């Protein structure tokens, strides 16, 4: 600073802070060698407080208003400096402006999952995030505990500390609430207020700060727990599981019958499903007989056959009978199933020979 600037500072002095920042909590007024003119004007705007510090000790504190600085309204500073009968201009002091308005748009979130016990799902990991506001309530304690000699103190400098306090407190509040996982979404307001009170108790006494607003925006569950919840919801929607299975079987029959993989396979699937549905739909005895409907169990043997030099299958015995009836499988059709050492004509396989309906052998040649 040049001589002209220093002389001008001696003649006129207005101490004020035009706060154009949304996240500045404390700002130190810049003065050449901390010199303030006797009789200078101090302007403290709404949402601010001014603190005078002399040789590292907090002296006088001013709320909103306009003040003429002299020994009458600086009693603590006068005592600290030993001014019994006033003081000469200029005097030395540091002036810190503290913002006492709420700082909004601050966010918090759990960096790691928080464990909780649930009666339905056992131990569950949850994550949470939300927003909060911050406000200075005790400028003296804030200056002594956090600011120190910083010329400017932003909310970001304490944001990490506040988020750590919120996260650890959230785990305690969630554990003590004993709220079921399925009821968490309906308890956001209650949990938010409990969390805010617990956080305020920790930051007010230690740092002179307040958290006027704190909200839980979301508590999320692991993907596997959400899938379990979706499955339980689906079961509740279905209701009668047996009726739902019958409906599913009925819907799948046309699809199976239209399967281009082969008419035999589609027919077999359709017959099997039809038997299952009939057994479910008519569980009692057949009317007029007094006996329950007998549903023949499908054979477990599967067959393969040769068509146009290519292997086709597998087919069940019932499907082979149908193929024999339609002429697709004849006595000389090569077939094979598990347990056979090689391919053989169907007429030579005992399990299929009786089903081939082969015609009579040709007549013997005429004698003589």
CATH of residue 309: 3.30.1490.40
Q: Could you tell me if 61 and 79 lie in one domain?
A: yes
What interhelical angle do 241-257 and 223-238 show, nearest 10?
90
Q: How many Cβ atoms sit within 10 Å of the Cβ of residue 162? A: 21
Q: Could you tell me if 14 and 108 lie in one domain?
A: no
Q: How many Cβ atoms sit within 10 Å of the Cβ of residue 142? A: 22
Q: What is the pLDDT of residue 183?
A: 85
> Does the pLDDT of residue 18 top 70, yes or no?
yes
CATH number at residue 147: 3.30.479.30
pLDDT band at 153 (very low <50, low <70, confident <90, very high): confident
Question: CA angle 255-260-261, nearest 5°?
Answer: 110
Query: Which whole-number Å values give the CA distances from 240 to 103, 151, 237, 288, in the listed order?
Result: 55, 71, 9, 30
Q: Could you tell me if 180 and 260 lie in one domain?
A: no
pLDDT band at 232 (very low <50, low <70, confident <90, very high): low
By residue range, what is the domain housing residue 333? 302-353
Q: Is residue 361 part of a domain?
A: no
- Evaluate whether 100 touches 41 at the Cβ level (below 8 Å): no
User: Per mean pLDDT, which range of 229-238, 245-254, 287-296, 313-322 is the poorest?
Assistant: 287-296
72: its two tokens:
């009458």
pLDDT band at 215 (very low <50, low <70, confident <90, very high): very high
Q: What is the pLDDT of residue 23?
A: 85
Phi-psi region of 286 (alpha: psi -120 to 50; beta: other; left: phi over 0): beta
Q: Is residue 228 part of a domain?
A: no
pLDDT band at 267 (very low <50, low <70, confident <90, very high): very low
Q: What is the pLDDT of residue 133?
A: 93
Q: Which H or E run includes 81?
A: helix 75-81
Question: Who has greater pLDDT, 195 or 230?
Answer: 195
Q: Is residue 362 part of a domain?
A: no
Percent of all residues in the chain with a pLDDT value above 90, rounded to a whole number: 15
Query: Which whole-number Å values give the CA distances from 62 to 15, 52, 83, 209, 355, in the listed order?
Result: 12, 9, 20, 18, 110
Q: What is the pLDDT of residue 2?
A: 58
Q: What is the pLDDT of residue 121?
A: 74
Q: What is the pLDDT of residue 199?
A: 93
Q: Could you tell me if 94 and 107 lie in one domain?
A: no
Q: Is residue 181 part of a domain?
A: yes
Cα 28 to Cα 31: distance, rounded to the nearest angstrom: 9
User: Per mean pLDDT, which range of 91-100, 230-239, 256-265 is the poorest?
Assistant: 256-265
Q: Is residue 139 part of a domain?
A: yes
**DSSP string over 311-367:** EEEEEEHHHHHHHHHTTSS-TT-EEEETT-SS-EEGGG-HHHHTTS-PPPPPPPPPP
Cα 202 to Cα 126: distance, rounded to the nearest angstrom: 24
Q: Is residue 293 part of a domain?
A: no
Question: Who has greater pLDDT, 323 or 285?
Answer: 323
Q: What is the pLDDT of residue 44?
A: 93
Which of 99, 122, 156 finishes a domain? 99
Residues 272-308 pLDDT 10s: 555 554 555 445 554 554 554 554 444 467 888 888 7
User: Per mean pLDDT, which range of 213-217, 256-260, 330-334 is the poorest?
Assistant: 256-260
Cα 317 to Cα 305: distance, rounded to the nearest angstrom: 12
b vs e for 269-307, b when ≥16 Cβ sit within 10 Å of the residue's Cβ?
bbbbbeeeeeeeeeeeeeeeeeeeeeeeeeeeeebbbee
Q: Could you tell me if 195 and 158 lie in one domain?
A: yes
Q: Could you tell me if 215 and 141 lie in one domain?
A: yes
Q: Could you tell me if 217 and 117 lie in one domain?
A: yes
Cα 99 to Cα 21: distance, rounded to the nearest angstrom: 10
Q: Could you tell me if 217 and 268 lie in one domain?
A: no
Cα 336 to Cα 305: distance, rounded to the nearest angstrom: 6
Q: Is residue 13 part of a domain?
A: yes
Question: Who has greater pLDDT, 124 or 253?
Answer: 124
Which of 79, 99, 119 finishes a domain? 99
Q: Could you tell me if 89 and 22 lie in one domain?
A: yes
Q: What is the pLDDT of residue 226?
A: 72
SS3 20: coil
Q: Could you tell me if 159 and 197 lie in one domain?
A: yes
Q: Give the number of domains in the chain.
A: 4
Cα 77 to Cα 60: distance, rounded to the nearest angstrom: 6
Q: Is residue 118 part of a domain?
A: yes
- Evaluate whether 42 touches 66 at the Cβ level (below 8 Å): yes
pTM assigned to the model: 0.55
- The mean pLDDT value for 356-366 works out to 56
Q: What is the pLDDT of residue 298?
A: 43
DSSP 86: B
Residues 165-175 pLDDT 10s: 999 899 889 88
Q: Could you tell me if 113 and 16 lie in one domain?
A: no
Mean pLDDT across the chain: 76
Q: Could you tell me if 79 and 108 lie in one domain?
A: no
Residues 130-140 pLDDT 10s: 999 999 988 88
> Does the pLDDT of residue 259 top 70, yes or no?
no
């Amino acid at each position: 600073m040049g001589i002209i600037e220093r002389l001008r500072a001696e003649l006129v002095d207005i101490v004020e802070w035009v706060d154009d920042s949304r996240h500045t909590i404390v700002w130190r007024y810049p003065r050449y060698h901390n010199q303030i003119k006797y009789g200078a004007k101090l302007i403290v705007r709404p949402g601010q407080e001014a603190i005078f510090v002399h040789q590292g000790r907090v002296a006088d504190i001013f709320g909103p208003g306009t003040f003429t600085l002299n020994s009458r309204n600086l009693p603590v500073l006068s005592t600290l400096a030993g001014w019994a009968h006033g003081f000469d201009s200029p005097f030395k002091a540091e002036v810190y402006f503290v913002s006492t308005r709420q700082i909004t748009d601050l966010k918090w979130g759990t960096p790691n999952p928080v464990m909780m016990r649930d009666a339905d799902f056992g131990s569950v990991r949850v994550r949470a995030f939300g927003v909060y506001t911050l406000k200075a309530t005790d400028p003296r304690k804030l200056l002594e505990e956090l600011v120190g000699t910083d010329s400017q103190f932003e909310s970001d400098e304490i944001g990490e500390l506040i988020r750590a306090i919120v996260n650890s407190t959230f785990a305690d509040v969630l554990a003590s609430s004993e709220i079921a996982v399925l009821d968490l979404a309906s308890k956001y307001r209650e949990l938010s207020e409990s969390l805010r009170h617990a956080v305020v108790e920790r930051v007010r006494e230690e740092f002179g700060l307040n958290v006027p607003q704190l909200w839980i925006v979301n508590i999320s569950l692991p993907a596997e727990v959400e899938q379990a919840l979706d499955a339980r919801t689906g079961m509740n929607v279905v209701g009668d599981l047996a009726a739902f299975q019958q409906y599913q079987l009925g819907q799948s029959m046309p699809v199976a019958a239209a399967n281009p993989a082969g008419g035999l396979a589609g027919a077999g699937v359709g017959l099997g499903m039809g038997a299952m549905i009939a057994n479910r739909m008519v569980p009692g005895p057949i009317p007029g007989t007094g006996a329950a409907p007998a549903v023949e169990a499908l054979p477990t043997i599967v067959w393969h056959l040769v068509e146009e030099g290519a292997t086709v299958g597998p087919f069940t015995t019932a499907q082979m009978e149908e193929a024999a009836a339609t002429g697709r499988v004849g006595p000389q059709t090569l077939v094979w199933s598990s347990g056979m050492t090689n391919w053989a004509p169907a007429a030579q396989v005992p399990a299929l020979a009786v089903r081939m309906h082969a015609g009579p052998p040709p007549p013997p040649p005429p004698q003589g």
